[in-house]
Chain A
C-alpha cells in the first residue's frame, strides 16, 4: 500500500489550515480510510487541541527524529475513530529541529501503512513551509475571500508549482459568507478562483459552530447537521475521487432555509 501525502498550507496565518486538517482528516477516517495527521508547526502546535488529544501526547515528531522513540509509539490514536491518529509537533522546539529529509523519510515510512498522510503546514514561506511540503505530492491551499489571504495563496501556489514532486494542488475556500457575497461586499467564489486560476476542492461557509467545536476539541464534521461539517465531508469525498457538487451556500443560508430548519426542529421536539 502506498498512501497519499497531502500538505495543507496557506501562507497567511489564521485562515483555517489547522481546522481544515483536523476536519478533513476526521472525515477521511470516517469514510473508512486509515489516516495520519502530522503537525509540523513546531513550537506552535494546535492540531492536538482541535482533536481534543492534548492530554494524550507522550512523544512528538522531534522525539521520532532524534530517535527517542519509534515512529509507531509517537502516533496518538483519536478518541472516537481508531482509523485516525496524530503525530504531534513539539511545543518546546523551533522549526530547525526537523529537516526536510527527515520529514520526507517519516512520510515515506507512514505511506506503507496508511491511506492518507495529511501534513498541517505552519504559516509563512520559510523553513517550516519547506519542511512540510518536502514529502508531499499533493497540496490543499487554504484561503479566504480576503485580499491578503488570496495574495498569500498566490505566492504559495507559485512556490508549489516550482516544486517538481508536487503533482497537484487544489484550493479550499474557507470562511465564505454568502450574505456578504450577495451584497457584493465580499469576493465571490468565482472571483477568487478566477484570480488564482486554480482548481477548487471545497467551499466552507463561515460557521459559528467551528468555534464551539474547537472549544470542545471535537472536529465539526462529527456534527452532521452543521453546514461547515457537511462541506468538509464533501471535501473528503472529493479527495477520495468522488464527484460531489458544490453546495449552494446562498440557498442553504437563506432565511427560508433557516425557517424550514427551525420548524423542523420544533416539530421534532414535539414528537
Chain B
C-alpha cells in the first residue's frame, strides 16, 4: 500500500519535470512506427538507398540542395503509408540556369555519341583489315606445317566476330558492346 503511494508520488514529481522532454513512450511509438513500416513493405535498405540517389540526381537538376542532409523515410499517416522526403534546399535554380545546364548536357551527350560512332567505325575497318590478313596468314602456315597439330592462336579467349578488341585485351566483354550500351543510354 505504502509503496504504491510513494511510487505514484515519485512518478508525478518525475512527470512534472519531464513534461518538456520526449517521454520514453513517445520514443517507443516512433521507433515502432518506423520499424513496422519497413517490416510491412518489401523495400530493402539497398533499394531505398538507390531510390534516394536517383531522386537526388533528378532533383538536383532543379534545386541546389544539401545532398548529405537529404532524408527519405517511410511513415504512416492514419491508414495510409507515406513516403516522407525532406531536403534542405539551398536555393532553387532559375529557368535560364536550368536551360543552360540542359543544353550543356545535350551537347555533351551528342558529342559523346558522335565520338562513339567514329571510334566504332574505325574499329570496324580495323577489324576487317586484321581479319583479312589473319586468314591469309593462317592459310600459309597451314600449308607449311601440315603434319603438326593445328593450334589456335588464342586458345583461352572467346573471339568476337565484330572486332578484335576482345582478342587483344584480357577482357572478355567486348569494348564495342560497351560503347553500344552507352549510346543506347544516351538515346533514352
Tell me whether B35 and A151 are in contact (CB under 8 A): yes
Contact of A262 among B1, B14, B35 (CB under 8 A): B1
Interface residue? B100 (CB, 8 A): no
Residues of A within 8 A of B33 (CB): 195
- Bitwise, A249-263 to B at CB < 8 A (1) or not (0) is 000000100100010
Interface residue? A186 (CB, 8 A): yes
Residues of A within 8 A of B15 (CB): 182-184
Tell me whether A191 and B25 are in contact (CB under 8 A): yes
Tell me whether B32 and A184 are in contact (CB under 8 A): no
Residues of A within 8 A of B1 (CB): 258, 262
- Bitwise, B21-58 to A at CB < 8 A (1) or not (0) is 00111101101110110011000000000000000000
CB of B80 to closest CB in A, whole Å: 11
Interface residue? B162 (CB, 8 A): no
CB of B107 to closest CB in A, whole Å: 52
Residues of B within 8 A of A181 (CB): 25
Residues of A within 8 A of B18 (CB): 184
Q: How far, in whole Å, are A258 and B5 apart by their CA atoms in the complex?
A: 10
Residues of B within 8 A of A212 (CB): none
Tell me whether B7 and A179 are in contact (CB under 8 A): yes
Tell me whether B39 and A155 are in contact (CB under 8 A): yes
Tell me whether B11 and A179 are in contact (CB under 8 A): yes
Interface residue? B122 (CB, 8 A): no
Residues of B within 8 A of A258 (CB): 1, 4
Q: Given A151-B39, A158-B40, A183-B14, are A195 and B29 neighbors across the interface (CB < 8 Å)?
A: yes
Closest to A188 in B: B25
Closest to A186 in B: B25
Interface residue? A243 (CB, 8 A): no
CB of A173 to closest CB in B, whole Å: 14
Residues of B within 8 A of A166 (CB): none
CB of B7 to closest CB in A, whole Å: 7
Interface residue? B68 (CB, 8 A): no
- Bitwise, A136-158 to B at CB < 8 A (1) or not (0) is 00000000000100110011001
Residues of B within 8 A of A187 (CB): 25, 28-29, 32
Closest to B35 in A: A151
Tell me whether B36 and A154 are in contact (CB under 8 A): yes
Contact sample, A vs B, 6 pairs, CB 8 Å cutoff: A151-B32, A154-B36, A154-B40, A183-B14, A187-B32, A191-B29
Interface, chain A (partner B; CB < 8 A): 147, 150-151, 154-155, 158, 179, 181-188, 191, 195, 197, 255, 258, 262
Q: What are the nearest 6 A-B pairs in CB distance?
A: A184-B23, A183-B11, A184-B25, A185-B24, A183-B15, A154-B36
